[in-house]
Chain A
Amino acid sequence: MANIRAFLVELEARLAPSLDEGLLQERLTEAEVHLRDRAQEFEEIGLPPLEAEARAGAAFGAAEEYAEDLPPARGASSGLKAETRAAPIVFTLALILSLGLCATYVLGMQGIALAGVISVLALGFFAVLGRPLYLRSLLSLGAVTAGFLLVVLCLELVPTVSAFEPVRPHFSPEGGRAYRRLKEFDANWQQVRDAGMPPIARRRSRCGRKTGGSCALDWCVVRCEKAMPMSWTRTTAFGSPPSRRLPSDFSSSSRRWRRWPGRWVPVCEAG
């Protein structure tokens, strides 16, 4: 059986770069059954086993003949197809794009990040469609995307102290002025919402790392700043900064919380 084994090893080496594991095993099984049957046929006419195997192999033909219709092996000096060369390029582009998406998300533009994730997935699926050579790239791409989504999930579920920058209220106790500020705040808030940007994204362009806040008659909105370092703890006008995690009874506490797309925004009572 040594000849047949050697032939199957050679055939496996020829086929492995072009076929996935399941298909490869099917092809090898099929070839092995054929060679065994053929060798047995030669033995029945009186040939010794080794010679019978050699004759069976000769009748079957060379492994390269079997594999010549398949895409060439990776690293082959000739006939390296464009799709084989393109696989690492596609993966590298996807990796760069995914890292860019992470940065985009951290900068607060969730809508763009989400659209980018969908684009990356679409790119990956189109690139690998029906091409076994791209399977590894698809798996790598899936791992990168899964990692990105995991980071997003962690950022969403575990807000930290550093994520909040409370803002001192600067309202007047006088009713008329406070009322106007309230209306002004509502108008600004709506304007930001209409622009499709969370307030944090708009304010950063003016304030750098500092975030703003808008206050009204008896309350203010504290903005969320995810880029703030962990050590940054500024005392608010209302006492201690918010706890590391969202209070379990936040809905009934004196601090009200508002769910802004992608993040929590605490709404604090003044005074």
Chain B
Amino acid sequence: MAFAKDLEAVVLGVLQEGGRHGYEIARRIREIDEGALNAREGRLYPLLHRLEAEGAILGTWVPQDGRPPRKVYALTAQGWDALATHRAAWRSYAGAIESVLEHRTGVKVEEAGHEVIVRG
């Protein structure tokens, strides 16, 4: 995972599908990214606790038969807003990177007296 903010966006994105506990969130991320993000699962929990403290998600303890209870997290209204913000920011960022990487002018650019050739 390149940036902590990326993991936050990914977690909020997973939770938009519905309430999930930590293990389910981690599993869902693995299913979607096929391991590309390579996030340590333990890193997920401090993030969940921070998001809960900030009010973006709400954690609820759910009892289980014969097993310890699970804490199920769900997006709050504030969390939906945060997700929308992340989505817009990511699209802007990805679009900018995409534009640079796909730029194919092949013109010469003079910069500070040096000649730089941008290859198409």
Chain A residues with CB under 8 Å of chain B are: 26-27, 29-34, 36-38, 41, 59-63, 65-70
Contacts and interface: CB of A to CB of B under 8 A. Distances in A.
Contact of A61 (B21, B23, B40, B68): B40
A38 B23 CA distance: 8
Interface in B13-50: 21-23, 26-27, 40-43, 45-46, 49-50
Contact of B50 (A37, A41, A69): A69
Interface of B: 21-23, 26-27, 40-43, 45-46, 49-50, 67-71
Given A26-B71, A29-B68, A29-B69, A34 B43 contact: no
Nearest to A37: B23
Given A26-B71, A29-B68, A29-B69, A34 B41 contact: yes
A31 B27 CA distance: 14
Label chain B's interface by main secondary structure.
Answer: helix
Given A38-B23, A69-B46, A30 B41 contact: no
B37 to A, nearest CB: 13
B43 A66 contact: yes
Contacts of B68: 29, 32-33
Instruction: Tell me which of B21, B22, B26, B42 has the highest count of chain A C-beta atoms within 10 A of its own C-beta.
Output: B42
Given A33-B23, A60-B41, A61-B41, 6 more contacts: A32-B68, A34-B23, A59-B40, A61-B42, A65-B43, A67-B46
B24 to A, nearest CB: 9
A28 B43 CA distance: 14
Contacts of A68: 46
A32 B71 CA distance: 12
Nearest to B42: A61
A30 B42 contact: no
Contact of A33 (B40, B42, B67): B67
10 contacts: A26-B71, A27-B49, A30-B70, A31-B42, A31-B45, A33-B70, A36-B67, A38-B23, A38-B41, A66-B42
Contacts of B50: 69
Contacts of B69: 29, 33
Contacts of B70: 30, 33
B71 A30 contact: yes
B60 to A, nearest CB: 12
Contacts of A32: 68
A118 to B, nearest CB: 31
B22 A60 contact: no
Contacts of B23: 33-34, 37-38
A-B pairs, 6 with minimum CB distance: A61-B40, A61-B42, A60-B42, A66-B42, A37-B23, A69-B46
A59 B49 CA distance: 19
A48 to B, nearest CB: 21
Nearest to A34: B23
A53 B75 CA distance: 31
Given A34-B26, A69-B50, A27 B45 contact: yes
Nearest to A41: B27
A35 to B, nearest CB: 9
A263 B24 CA distance: 67
A34 B46 contact: no
A36 B42 CA distance: 13
Contacts of B67: 33, 36
Nearest to B4: A69
Nearest to A56: B41
A41 B30 CA distance: 13
A38 B45 CA distance: 15
A3 to B, nearest CB: 14
